[in-house]
Amino acid sequence: MNKDITYDQVHTKEKQELLKIKMNEVAELIHKKYSLTEKVHTCPVCLSKKINFYVNKFGFNMDRCDDCNHIFTNPFPSEDALNFYYNSDLKKFENKFFEDSFEERIPIFTKRIEIINKLIGEGTILDVGSSIGIFIEGLKRNHTKLEIVACDLNIESCEKLKQKYKDIKVIHGDVLKIEETKKFEIITLWDTFEHIVSPKELLEKILNLLKPNGVFIFSTPNTASYEWKIMNKEHIQLLPPGHVNLYNKDNIKLLATRHKFNVLDVLTLNASLDLTYVKKEIDLIVSKNEINEQLSNFINYQQALLENPLIFDSIASYLIGQREAGNMVVILQK
């Protein structure tokens, strides 16, 4: 069922090979040019004081909260550092990688669009951070009745969206600056929440942009998941200064309710990505021959089990049922 969405399909070979190199280059420049901001001593989500060092990636320290398991860059990068980062070559690299995996990424949205259709049949949708329009293409292919407004900070992405979709409205700019004269039935934000230093401002703005009972749906990594439990400090998404806040399926509810949203559901829909990602990484460890024979046999057998589509699908279903896959779709209502 979900096996058609695999890690290798959505992350192109070029991306997998170059990401760390590109990240190191840009991180080195940031550390030279910009000084650090002040470290925080309270968890940004649950306000606990029990903060401990977790890992250092690309020269940025990441801490973890003992109480809610929130993982965050501490200190957070400065606004100047982030401006530099998002206007660096890395952004072009990312856009190219999205272009290259455009078709493969559309199925990621299939279930999300089903959910949207069930919740909101008609009205206007505001999609924040549309990038090159993979989600919008998904909506179009599902013959959506929703009127679409797209919003993105990147001018090139906006121009492309305007050319490709004549019947949608495109706003070039920051969602925080959108006028609140028009309100929306639904607002979406895909794989962006982890990039936001202060979610408070964004959540308040979204609340103001929604009609009464309006729905806000977003996706972000879920660190209380199969892939995170196994990969832990080696997880590919430990990517500061881009990823600054890494939530989990429990603490995200706390954050949402504190900002006056009702939590309708937190779903994890793409477990096949967890399984194919972990399998790939474990294959790599086994191939290095650094483990003893019994452990190696055990892993090989587990890997062979995962090759069986029946077993693959049942584990994927289990993870989806338990909400333990690595990307969560959070459904909130005003």
* Structure token digits, residue 331: 């459904």
- B/e letters for 40-74, b = 16+ CB within 10 Å, e = fewer, are eeebbbbeeeebeebbebbebbbbbbeebbbbbbb
Where does this chain touch Zn ion (CB under 5 A) — which range of 61-69, 108-116, 123-131, 312-320? 61-69
Q: Is 32 exposed, middle or buried (0-12, 13-18, 19+ CB in 10 A)?
A: exposed
179: Cβ contacts below 8 Å, ≥ 6 apart: none
Min dist CB 220 to Zn ion, Å, is: 16
- Of 19-27, 67-75, 79-87, 183-191, the segment contacting Zn ion by CB under 5 A is 67-75
Structure tokens at 149: 């407004």
* Of the residues 42, 48, 297, 314, which one makes contact with Zn ion according to CB under 5 A: 48
Identity of residue 197 = V
Our finding on whether 67 is near Zn ion (CB under 5 A) is yes
Contact between 43 and Zn ion by CB under 5 A: the answer reads yes
Phi, psi of 55 (to 5 degrees): -165, 155
Binding span for Zn ion by CB under 5 A among 47-55, 107-115, 130-138, 256-264: 47-55
Helix (H) or strand (E) holding 212: strand 210-221
Q: How far is the CB of 33 from Zn ion (least distance, A)?
A: 31
Interface with Zn ion (CB under 5 A), residue from 62, 65, 134, 331: 65
- Candidates 10, 23, 68, 209; binder of Zn ion (CB under 5 A) is 68
Question: Which span sits near Zn ion by CB under 5 A: 64-72, 90-98, 228-236, 303-311?
Answer: 64-72
Q: Write out the two tokens for 226.
A: 């199969």
How far apart are alpha carbons 203 and 261 in whole angstroms? 9
250 counts as binding Zn ion under rule CB under 5 A? no
Segment contacting Zn ion by CB under 5 A, of 46-54, 258-266, 307-315, 325-333: 46-54
Compute the least distance from the CB of residue 222 to Zn ion, in Å. Answer: 15
Task: Determine, following the binding rule CB under 5 A, whether residue 252 of this chain makes contact with Zn ion.
Answer: no
Q: Is 133 helix (H, G, I), strand (E, B) or coil?
A: coil
The number of residues that bind Zn ion (CB under 5 A) is 8
Residue 48 vs 208, nearer CB to Zn ion: 48
Q: Minimum distance between the CB of residue 55 and Zn ion, rounded to whole angstroms? A: 17
Q: Smallest Cα–Cα separation from 330: which of 190, 202, 231?
A: 190
DSSP secondary structure letter of residue 293: H
CB 272 within 8 A of CB 3: yes
Check residue 158 for interaction with Zn ion (CB under 5 A): no
User: Which range, of 36-44, 148-156, 182-190, 312-320, touches Zn ion by CB under 5 A?
Assistant: 36-44
d(CA 48, CA 69): 10
* x-or-dash string of contact with Zn ion, 99-128, rule CB under 5 A: ------------------------------
List the one residue from 11, 57, 64, 70 that touches Zn ion (CB under 5 A): 70
CA dist 292 and 328 (Å) reads: 36
Residues that bind Zn ion (CB under 5 A): 43, 45-46, 48, 65, 67-68, 70
